[in-house]
Homo-oligomer: A and B are copies of this chain.
Amino acid sequence: MSARIIDGKAEAAKLRARVAEEAAALKRDHGIVPGLAVVLVGDNPASEVYVRNKAAQTREAGMNSFEFRLPAETTEAALLALVADLNARADVHGILVQLPLPAHIAADKVLDAIAPDKDVDGFHPMNAGLLATGRAALAPCTPLGCVILAKTVHERLRGLNVVVVGRSTIVGRPAAQLFLKEDCTVTIAHSATKDLPAVCRSADILVVAVGRPLMVKGDWVKPGATVLDVGINRVEKPEGGTRLVGDVDFESAKSVAGAITPVPGGVGPMTIACLLANTLTCARMASGLAAAA
């Protein structure tokens, strides 16, 4: 039996369409156009592609996109000054500083300077803390996408065993919090975990976010489990050239799993869609409206 392949591109498109509808309603009913500011420092080519995609999808959803491209030698002080400006602007509802930042800039300091209610990436400690205490919070986009994809497979997440492999502040840790919020029993595994394959095999939903190509094999997966692969790794093909692979060995895992995300086209596309959803939420909150459904 082969797993159902979770179509992240289709789910992301659905979410973007819903956000676009709600953005249009916000404009019609309240005269508000949600605005997302994206700040890129330096000329990392991958970041450049990502920022361009974010801007394009923001505009497609009927929102304003404000892009700031700063040279690699930008000082921390100048970046902090820009963030302060954006915090103060009424037409900017969400602020995203694209990572990684050049080494001479303390990323924590910059992210901590973003107003928590414009923190569309959900990286501010205040949002991490609200999330960690089960309160309403802006949550990081990639783990939000994981939960949405899990819900396309499972009608109810309550009581399911979720194993999150990887404890980054961007994916693993917030994913654990979000699945806990869904009443899952959540295990966080990582590089110090003993017998990781056995821990993975206890999962009804296995979320892998470690950045190691093809690490999780088919025999690490419980038959019928849902596998969400957050990894995106570029590897060389034997015949020359490169291809993108996840942290999960898709070929062996898909014959065991009940459902699995491909790479690319799985979790990846959800990230920007969730970013747009967070921007909409920020715009609504700024106007004293409830978060979007």
Set of chain B residues within 8 Å of A18, measured between Cβ atoms: none
Binds B, one of A89-97, A141-149, A183-191, A272-280: A183-191
Decide if A130 is an interface residue (CB 8 Å cutoff).
yes
Stoichiometry (number of copies)? 2
CA distance A192 to B160 in the complex (A): 9
Residues on B with beta carbons closer than 8 Å to the beta carbon of A188: 176, 180, 185-187
Report A118-134 CB contacts with B as 1/0, cut-off 8 Å.
00000011111111111
- The reply to whether B159 and A192 contact each other, CB–CB distance below 8 Å, is yes
Q: How far is the CB of A175 from chain B (nearest CB, A)?
A: 12
What is the distance, in angstroms, from A56's C-beta to the closest C-beta of chain B? 30
CA distance A184 to B187 in the complex (A): 10
Tell me the bound Cα distance from A158 to B161 in angstroms: 23
- A185-B183 contact in complex given A124-B129, A159-B193, A192-B159, C-beta closer than 8 Å: no
Asked if A167 is at the interface of the complex by the 8 Å CB criterion, the answer is yes
Q: Among residues 18 to 41 in chain A, which have CB atoms less than 8 Å away from a CB atom of chain B?
A: none
From residue A156, how far is it (CB to closest CB) to chain B in Å? 10
- From A198, which residue of chain B is reached at the shortest CB distance? B202
The answer for the CA separation of A97 and B162 in the assembled complex, in Å, is 35
- Interface size range on A against B: 35 or more
The one of B130, B184, B194, B202 in contact with A125, judged by C-beta atoms closer than 8 angstroms, is B130
Q: Identify which of B129, B159, B177, B192 contacts A127 (C-beta below 8 A).
A: B129
Instruction: Check if A108 is an interface residue, CB within 8 A of chain B.
Output: yes
A173 at the interface (CB under 8 A from B): yes
- Complex-state Cα separation, A108 to B131, whole angstroms: 14
Residues of chain B within 8 A (CB-CB) of A194 are: 159, 161, 185
CA A158 to CA B194, docked complex, whole Å: 9
Say yes or no: is A242 at the interface (Cβ < 8 Å to chain B): no
| The one of B130, B134, B185, B189 that contacts A192, using a Cβ cutoff of 8 Å | B185
The residue from B128, B133, B167 contacting A169, defined by CB atoms under 8 A apart: B133
Q: Does A199 count as interface, using CB distance less than 8 angstroms?
A: yes
Q: Which of chain A's residues 224-262 have a Cβ closer than 8 Å to chain B?
A: none
Contacting residues of chain A (172-213) with chain B, CB-CB under 8 angstroms: 173, 176-177, 180, 183-190, 192-194, 199, 202
A135 sits at the interface (CB 8 A): yes
The residues of B that contact A167 with a CB separation of less than 8 Å are: 134, 180
Most buried by B among A124, A134, A167, A192: A192
A132 touches B177 (CB 8 A): yes
A199's nearest neighbour on chain B, judged by CB, is B185
Q: How far is the CA of A253 from the CA of B135 in the complex (A)?
A: 35
Residues on the B chain within 8 Å of A128, using CB? 128-130, 132-133
Residues of chain B within 8 A (CB-CB) of A131 are 129, 132
- CB of A59, distance to nearest CB on chain B (Å): 32
